[in-house]
Structure 1
Amino acid sequence: MTTAAEHPWGRVDDEGNVHLRTADGERFIGQWATGSEPAEAIAFYERRFAALETEVELLEKRLASGALSPSDAVKALDKARENVTGAAALGDLASLEARLTALAPQIEKAREERKAAREAEVAAAGERKTAIVGEAEAIAAGHDYRKGGERLSALLDEWKALPRLSKSADDALWHRFSAARTAFMRQRKTFFAEQDSKRAEAKKAKEKLIAEAEALSTSTDWGATAGAYRDLMARWKAAGAAPRHVEDKLWKRFRAAQDVFFAARDEANQALDAEFEANAVVKEQILVEAEALLPITDLEAARKSWHDIADRWEAAGKVPRARIQELEGRLRKVEQAIRSAGDREWKRTDPEKSARADDMIGKLERAITETEEALTKAEAAGDAKKVKDLTAKLASNRSFLEMAQKAQADFS
């Protein structure tokens, strides 16, 4: 800090007047109390200049960082110029004014850049809003009333966050978007009203089914009642869904009634299975006799034994359900073996087939005799071609005769 009455940018005279040196000469900027140190006056007006310099530096930095909008920058620049021009301060005020003047083109450039960015932003917003409208109209044309509503809400939030377009363009797109939302919400309201009505009807129908199920729960007519429950289940599914807050409760009541019946049926079946276990032991013994008939070597003896086995099998009674398939399967295997053996015997002794074989043999024998006679005549006549043809025919007939005689043997 300068402590003399002289300063690079001014001076303090003997009367306490403070002067600033400018390109146009000295300019009176203030007066200091007579008798005070001139250095104090110089320091005071130096601080004023430092404050102005800080103001200019801050404006430069804010403009360079883009923190100020062009309009705010113009206002700040005007205010800074007002403060610098004719300021009562000791320092290079002309350089501050020059720095402020240099900011004007920067502000104009920033204005143009911001304008271009705004135009690009508006153009992008126009494309996005057009896409939002298209998606909204597609949703309105569909029937996904759950996800569609959520998506339209998200699109509305996105629309609000986008910049406005020109009034006419923005209003036109908004009208389409709003119309699509309104149409969808109207359809959605109608749909859910219908759904509520259907669920209410389903609730009534299921309450009736529950009453039927509970009435059947104490039945001991196991077969018929199990069939009735299957029918109830089909009707339950066909009734559709009841309101969400009661659907689970209705199902638990419906299922509980069935559980009561089927638990009682299972208990009764378990008691019957214990009773039928003794019958299974008897049938296992019968199976030992039946399976001893295999393989079938004496068909008539096997048939006689089978009749007795079948009678005793029926008389033995029912067996536990878990063993029915196993025991019946073993018995059917023996029965099938006897039936197959009978079929084979019938085919072997079929009188019609035997008669047909005898008839064929007779025809072939006569044909062979006639061919042999014709062959003898052809040889005597020296007809080589006829001899060749008759020889081939004779060989063929003899081959067929051999096969027919073999088939006849199978029936004898």
Structure 2
Amino acid sequence: MSSDPWGRVDETGTVYVRTADGEREVGSWQAGSPDEALAYFKRKYEGLVVEIGLLERRVRTTDLSAKDAQTAIEHLRASVVDAHAVGDLEALARRLDALSAEVEARREERKVAKAKAADEARKAKEDLVAEAEQLSVSEQWRSAGERLRALVDTWKSLPRLDRKTDDELWHRFSHARSVFSKRRKAHFASLDAQREEARKVKERLVAEAEEISGSTDWGATAARYRELMADWKAAGRAQREAEEELWNRFRGAQDVFFAARSEAFAERDSEQRENLTRKEELAAEAEKLLPVTDLKAARAAFRSVNERWEAIGHVPRDARPRIEARMHAVERAIQEAEEAEWRRTNPEARARAEGLTGQLQAAVDKLRGQIEAARAAGNTAKADKLAKELEGRQALLDQALKGLQEFGG
């Protein structure tokens, strides 16, 4: 007979394991000594220890599911309960109980984590849907389209929710993308129509620009080109290839016209500078007539100068006021000499001037007599009043005498 803290072998070769509930027969041994029997059944126990250790490591280091872990634990538990082995079987059972509790705790952790992940995924998808619905009304076609494609990739990277919630959110997300796509398609279809209309308008503008490029009506044609340019800008853009080709033709037609105008203006400017030189010479000749001493001769000479002036033609615009002012000054001087001569030789005007002068002189003489009489009578107030009236009449008389002098006496 042989014994051990956890088991024994009786004289018949029967092997027992000691448990909290007492001894339990685990086998018999007839092939050797009792010690060999115990050693054999202890090795059976060690095998269970190894299996439990492997399961513990697997649970703690791999992604073994809680269900599979509990199945494996229950399988080992049954093996321990019915084990034909010698050793501390209660310790193995406690290890399995602890491992089972650990698995359940991890199951709860995973459940919480899964619920949290699902909640985060739902929130993330709701945010994607909200952004997609905002983008569905955007007119930033390129950036919004790119963003919507990025949102699809983000959606695919998120875990699925429960079918009902996931389907509802996907339907809103897909609808927002569809709304944007339809609006963008309609926009570009409208844009294509506008560009086609712009092409037709610009073809007409180009045709007219080319037609008038040979015109020599410089002012009116230049104004028309400005109008055509305004119409060109208002027409909008045509398709890229057509826009470039039409613009080159439009600009080319303008270049032809304005180059011809510049050449013509250069010739005109040269001619007008020559005209200015000639008119400056005539202005100097006219200015030599001043002051007017012989009205008849001055009038004839100025007429000759003016006839030659009119025959010369235009001068540069910026010089025109200055050169014309010189001739006008001579002309006004001659006119003033004519008016003075007329007044001097007009008998009716002379008679009227003499009559007015006589009347004013008589009035002045009368006032002086009245002033002297008032002072002699000691009426100073009346004398002062008459003196003020005399000042006014004397001023009129002086002016009349000056006018009479223009008649030569």
Give the counterpart of 1:327 among 319, 324, 329: 319
Give the counterpart of 1:287 among 272, 280, 284: 280
Say if 1:202 and 1:242, in contact at 8 Å, map to a contact too: yes
Q: Name 1:243's counterpart in structure 2.
A: 239
Letter of the aligned partner of 1:78 in structure 2?
Q
Q: Name 1:178's counterpart in structure 2.
A: 175
CA distance in 1, matches of 2:121, 2:171: 18
User: How far is the alpha carbon of 1:249 from its aligned partner?
Assistant: 0.9
Match status 1:213 vs 2:213: no
User: How far is the alpha carbon of 1:250 from its aligned partner?
Assistant: 1.4
Match status 1:74 vs 2:74: no
Deviations 1:213-254 (A, max 9, x none): 334444555555545544544554454443333111112122
Deviations 1:82-133 (A, max 9, x none): 4653469999643464144145345435534653664476467557745754
Q: 1:171 to 1:210 in 2, by over 3 A?
A: same
Letter of the aligned partner of 1:261 in structure 2?
F
Moved more, 401-410 or 193-202: 401-410
Match status 1:104 vs 2:101: no
Q: 1:105 to 1:371 in 2, by over 3 A?
A: farther
Say if 1:200 and 1:243, in contact at 8 Å, map to a contact too: yes
Say if 2:7 and 2:17, in contact at 8 Å, map to a contact too: yes
Match status 1:199 vs 2:195: yes
Q: 1:167 to 1:57 in 2, by over 3 A?
A: closer
Give the counterpart of 2:140 among 140, 147, 151: 147
Say if 1:56 and 1:96, in contact at 8 Å, map to a contact too: no
Counterparts of 1:357-368 in structure 2, within 5 Å, are: none
Give the counterpart of 1:55 among 50, 54, 58: 58
Q: 1:57 to 1:177 in 2, by over 3 A?
A: closer
Letter of the aligned partner of 1:51 in structure 2?
L
Letter of the aligned partner of 1:151 in structure 2?
A
| TM-score, normalization by structure 2 | 0.56
> Equivalent residue of 1:242, what SS?
coil
Deviations 1:246-303 (A, max 9, x none): 1111121222233233334444554x25xx6476356336436747999x98478999
Q: 1:45 to 1:330 in 2, by over 3 A?
A: same
Give identity over the alignment, percent: 29
Q: Name 1:68's counterpart in structure 2.
A: none
Say if 1:299 and 1:338, in contact at 8 Å, map to a contact too: no
| TM-score, normalization by structure 1 | 0.55
Give the counterpart of 1:260 among 229, 252, 256: 256
In structure 1, the gaps of 5 or more residues are 1-5, 12-16, 63-71
CA distance in 2, matches of 1:246, 1:312: 57
Say if 1:199 and 1:242, in contact at 8 Å, map to a contact too: yes
Q: 1:397 to 1:171 in 2, by over 3 A?
A: farther
- Bigger CA radius of gyration: 2
Say if 1:210 and 1:253, in contact at 8 Å, map to a contact too: yes
Q: 1:192 to 1:124 in 2, by over 3 A?
A: closer
User: How far is the alpha carbon of 1:152 from its aligned partner?
Assistant: 6.6
Letter of the aligned partner of 1:108 in structure 2?
E
In structure 2, the gaps of 5 or more residues are 9-13, 344-348
User: How far is the alpha carbon of 1:341 from its aligned partner?
Assistant: 7.7
CA distance in 1, matches of 2:323, 2:75: 119
CA distance in 2, matches of 1:379, 1:344: 52
Letter of the aligned partner of 2:280 in structure 1?
L
CA RMSD of aligned residues (A): 6.5
Moved more, 249-258 or 194-203: 194-203
Q: Name 1:67's counterpart in structure 2.
A: none
Counterparts of 1:9-408 in structure 2, within 5 Å, are: 48-58=51-61, 74-75=66-67, 77-79=69-71, 81-82=73-74, 85=77, 86=79, 93=92, 94-95=94-95, 97-105=97-105, 107-108=107-108, 111-112=111-112, 114-115=114-115, 118-119=118-119, 122=122, 126=126, 129=129, 133=133, 135=134, 139=137, 146-147=139-140, 151=144, 154=147, 158=151, 161=155, 167=164, 171=168, 174=171, 178=175, 182=179, 189=185, 192-219=188-215, 222=218, 225-237=221-233, 239-270=235-266, 272=267, 277=270, 280-281=273-274, 283-284=276-277, 286-287=279-280, 290=283, 298=291, 311-317=307-313, 324-335=316-327
CA distance in 2, matches of 1:25, 1:221: 131
Q: 1:8 to 1:218 in 2, by over 3 A?
A: farther
Letter of the aligned partner of 2:67 in structure 1?
K
> Equivalent residue of 2:238, what SS?
coil
CA distance in 1, matches of 2:216, 2:4: 122
Q: 1:282 to 1:179 in 2, by over 3 A?
A: closer
CA distance in 1, matches of 2:70, 2:394: 133
> Equivalent residue of 2:250, what SS?
helix
Say if 2:374 and 2:383, in contact at 8 Å, map to a contact too: yes
Q: 1:266 to 1:123 in 2, by over 3 A?
A: closer
> Equivalent residue of 1:245, what SS?
helix
